[in-house]
């Protein structure tokens, strides 16, 4: 049997092919799994569980069908959907996990996270993240009318795009010390994350031994997943 990991689908009404690919994945490949873990940025931008966007209902129903078929589904927040809350979790049957979680998969200890917290060289982003993760600010934002929240999210997306265009590729990647530090804190030889959209399995040294970091790809024109079995950890791309 296998446990599956995906991240960075960035689902939005404007990208129906990605939604269709995800729905097919949920009704097909995922049904055979022991569990499905979604490691953040499932949605392009989440402004509250009360957003009546029909896409959200459709996705909740599809995930619920998977869960009801006997495949548990877990979610770690990304930097686009960190406001996804208990109401959507209940609707979809997903279980919300903290930002870092260690799993024991078939005897292998694996650390999972979205990956944005590893990008410690991106000082501007880390400052932004610290601000928008303040509970009082989130409560204030969620109390605003939806049209204002939508406008603020659009301004943040525009600000982010503008900021990213002047950042180097290296700054927006993970920091090696942050990676080793996370793996040594949790005493693991495997790490799976997304966020950087640079799919690859990297080899490194952590805890004075060989260690591996599997980076999930974003779902642009094809799907990306990590499949963990008793004998293997594979990074797989597949057509929608
Ligand atoms: O997301 P992406 O790929 O463009 O870049 C990320 C980092 N950017 C972000 C910002 C998100 O895109 C914004 C998402 C909105 C979610 C919904 C709204 C919820 C609001 C809640 C309020 C409590 O995560 C980017 C990283 C990049 O990944 C690579 O790691 O570099 O970081 C930034 O761009 C941060 C900048 O350095 C500074 C941010 C500018 C934001 C401008 C704010 C304007 C707000 C106006 C409000 C009135
Ligand atoms: Mn991300």
Domains in the chain, start-ordered, CATH in brackets? Answer: 3-238 (3.60.21.10)
Atom number in ligand 1 closest to CA 161: 4
Measured in Å, residue 79 CA sits from the centre of ligand 1 at 7
Q: pLDDT digits over 10-45, tens only? A: 999 999 999 999 999 999 999 999 999 999 999 999
CA 236 to chain centre: 16
The average pLDDT across 199-212 equals: 98
Alpha-carbon distance 223 to 8, whole Å?
10
The average pLDDT across 207-217 equals: 98
Q: Where are the beta strands (DSSP E) in the chain?
A: 3-6, 35-38, 73-75, 95-96, 100-105, 108-113, 190-193, 200-206, 209-215, 223-228, 233-238
Q: Quick one: what percent of the chain has pLDDT higher than 90?
A: 98
H or E segment at 13? none
Q: Quick one: what percent of the chain has pLDDT higher than 70?
A: 100
Alpha-carbon distance 170 to 189, whole Å?
24
Measured in Å, residue 39 CA sits from the centre of ligand 2 at 9
Measured in Å, residue 78 CA sits from the centre of ligand 2 at 5
Q: Are the C-beta atoms of 110 and 191 separated by less than 8 Å?
A: yes
Q: pLDDT digits over 83-128, tens only? A: 999 999 999 999 999 999 999 999 999 999 999 999 999 999 999 9
Residue 156 Cβ < 6 Å to ligand 1: yes
Q: For the chain, what's the residue count?
A: 240
pLDDT at 72: 98
Measured in Å, residue 41 CA sits from the centre of ligand 2 at 5
203 confidence band (pLDDT: 50, 70, 90): very high
Residue 106 Cβ < 6 Å to ligand 1: no
Atom number in ligand 1 closest to CA 83: 19
- Global pTM exceeds 0.95: yes
């Amino acid at each position: 049997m296998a446990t599956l990991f995906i991240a960075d689908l960035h689902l939005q009404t404007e990208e129906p092919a990605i939604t269709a690919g995800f729905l097919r994945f949920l009704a097909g490949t995922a049904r055979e799994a022991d569990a499905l873990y979604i490691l953040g940025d499932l949605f392009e931008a989440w402004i509250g569980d009360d957003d009546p966007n029909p896409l959200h209902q459709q996705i909740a129903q599809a995930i619920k069908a998977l869960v009801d078929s006997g495949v548990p589904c877990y979610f770690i927040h990304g930097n686009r959907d960190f406001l996804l809350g208990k109401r959507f979790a209940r609707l979809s049957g997903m279980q919300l996990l903290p930002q870092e979680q260690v799993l024991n998969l078939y005897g292998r200890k694996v650390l999972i996270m979205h990956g944005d917290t590893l990008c410690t060289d991106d000082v501007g982003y880390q400052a932004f993240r610290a601000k928008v993760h303040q509970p009082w600010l989130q409560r204030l934002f969620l109390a605003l009318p939806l049209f204002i929240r939508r406008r603020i999210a659009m301004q943040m997306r525009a600000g982010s795009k503008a900021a990213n265009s002047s950042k180097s590729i290296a700054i927006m990647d993970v920091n090696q010390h942050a990676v080793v530090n996370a793996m040594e804190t949790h005493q693991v030889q495997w790490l799976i994350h997304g966020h950087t959209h640079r799919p690859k399995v990297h080899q490194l040294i952590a805890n004075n031994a060989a260690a591996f970091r599997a980076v999930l790809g974003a779902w642009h024109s094809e799907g990306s997943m990590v499949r963990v079995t008793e004998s293997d950890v594979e990074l797989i791309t597949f057509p929608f």
